[in-house]
Structure 1
Amino acid sequence: MKKLSIFLTAILLLISGGKIYSQATQSDSFTDIFKQIDVKEIPENVFKLVGTDFTVITAGDPSLYNSMVASWGGWGILLEKPTTWCFLRSNRYTLEIMRKKETYTMTYFDDQYKKDFIQFGKKSGRNSDKMKENNLVSIQTPSGNMTYREAKLVIECKLTEVTTVSPDDFYTEAGKKFVVEAHAETNDYHKIVFGEITNVWIRK
């Protein structure tokens, strides 16, 4: 039995990239799975989280919510508050819900879930059932925001500002070209979205 236990532990380590998480079940509450930490205790580098792991932004409630994938953004201090920012196309359905609800989550996953959450970026939820066509299991935070049981890090945000960019804001030709081409597709410029960080949760 001891050898079998060691073998199973090794398999779990390989699957989870060296981390063993408690096995969440459908009956587990949010606080059974996650623990709250201070924003200064976020365990990973923002450049890795946003640029490599990618951000899943989710807005709404159990009756209607939508998720999207973002790879541009970060966080810092704005108006003396810990704040996230992201650079989003104006026609994002998730952005539409964010503006209505004024709260949202920024969620991060281990690599083993990338094939699942990357689907959120392949089509709009406005005219599809993409939120039902996924293996990830949604869960509501104690404050009412939506995220996923499989997450390793959940950042809850309160919307503070949505700013529209202009080609004149950019001092590189690549930046100007990017926002002009996006405008041609959506008839509007990208939005920079700022959100005050209200809660941070990591997997137990």
Structure 2
Amino acid sequence: MQFSDLFKQISTKDICAGFDIFKLVGNDFFLITSGNKDNYNSMTGSGGGFGMLFRTPSTWCVIRSDRYTLELIQKEKTYTLSYFTDEYKDQLIFLGNKTGRGTDKMKEVKLTSVQTPSGNITFKEAKLIIECKLTQITMPHPNDFYSQEARDYLTEAYKNPSDYRKYVFGEITAIWENNIKK
């Protein structure tokens, strides 16, 4: 089955009309995936956002600095954000709890990997796919924030260097909606 049989390309305007963006980034489980068909890894995303950066439709997400997926994003300079219906919640939790460094957790999951026309890896079961080209990775410092809640969060998160959070920004290069799952 061809990728175009499974997914249709939509615009950034269509994503705003067809999906609740705050539900996507605040409630729905999603996977961040990078690599190539021979070596890729996914992790569960939690939080993030969409907007304009340098006059370009963009995404951002937060990834712990020790995650293997982050290493692959830095190497490949591309990644996908794949959103799923609740029926795949257990699979996404599994991918968030098990490392892909030194193991092949991707073979243990019951999701079907597919390549987008540009070669990025995603999954046939996704309801929405956002392809991204890496724009920037930065690490915020607690003093960069003015709300006490944000400072407290980062201070707690930065107890160990491996827990440092990186903010990953990417230009949206394509958006795909599943022809069957919505």
Q: TM-score range by the shorter chain?
A: over 0.9
The 3 A distance-change label for structure 1 pair 201 and 127 is same
Does 2:40 align with 1:52?
Answer: no
Q: Which has the larger radius of gyration?
A: 1
Question: Aligned ranges for residues 38-49 of structure 1 at < 5 Å?
Answer: 38-42=11-15, 43-49=18-24
What is the match of residue 7 of structure 2? 34
Paired letter, 1:194: F
Q: CA deviation at 1:173?
A: 3.1
What is the match of residue 93 of structure 2? 118
Q: How many residues align?
A: 177
Deviations 1:86-111 (A, max 9, x none): 11111111011001100000000111
What is the match of residue 130 of structure 2? 155
TM-score relative to the length of structure 1? 0.83
Q: What is the CA–CA distance in structure 2 between the aligned matches of 1:153 and 1:54, rounded to whole Å?
A: 11
Q: What is the CA–CA distance in structure 2 between the aligned matches of 1:173 and 1:141, rounded to whole Å?
A: 42
Report the aligned-residue RMSD: 1.3
Paired letter, 1:88: I
- In structure 1, runs of 5+ residues without a counterpart are 1-27
Determine which structure has greater relative contact order: mean sequence separation of CA pairs < 8 Å that are 6+ residues apart, divided by chain length. 2
What is the match of residue 16 of structure 1? none
What is the match of residue 79 of structure 2? 104
Q: Please say if residues 30 and 92 of structure 2, whose CA atoms lie closer than 8 Å, have aligned partners that are also in contact.
A: no
TM-score relative to the length of structure 2? 0.92
Q: What is the CA–CA distance in structure 2 between the aligned matches of 1:127 and 1:175, rounded to whole Å?
A: 33
Q: Please say if residues 66 and 162 of structure 2, whose CA atoms lie closer than 8 Å, have aligned partners that are also in contact.
A: no
Does 2:97 align with 1:146?
Answer: no
Q: Please say if residues 59 and 170 of structure 2, whose CA atoms lie closer than 8 Å, have aligned partners that are also in contact.
A: yes
Q: CA deviation at 1:187?
A: 4.7
Q: What is the CA–CA distance in structure 2 between the aligned matches of 1:50 and 1:169, rounded to whole Å?
A: 23
Paired letter, 1:136: L
Deviations 1:6-61 (A, max 9, x none): xxxxxxxxxxxxxxxxxxxxxx1111100111111011111111111122100001
Q: What is the CA–CA distance in structure 1 between the aligned matches of 2:149 and 2:99, rounded to whole Å?
A: 26
What is the match of residue 105 of structure 2? 130
Deviations 1:114-136 (A, max 9, x none): 11122111121113221111101
Q: What is the CA–CA distance in structure 2 between the aligned matches of 1:196 and 1:130, rounded to whole Å?
A: 28
Q: What is the CA–CA distance in structure 2 between the aligned matches of 1:77 and 1:189, rounded to whole Å?
A: 25
Question: Normalized per residue, which structure has more strand?
Answer: 2
Does 2:174 align with 1:185?
Answer: no
Identity %: 53
Q: Please say if residues 60 and 104 of structure 1, whose CA atoms lie closer than 8 Å, have aligned partners that are also in contact.
A: yes
What is the match of residue 92 of structure 1? 67
* SS state at 1:53 partner: coil
Q: Please say if residues 166 and 189 of structure 1, whose CA atoms lie closer than 8 Å, have aligned partners that are also in contact.
A: no
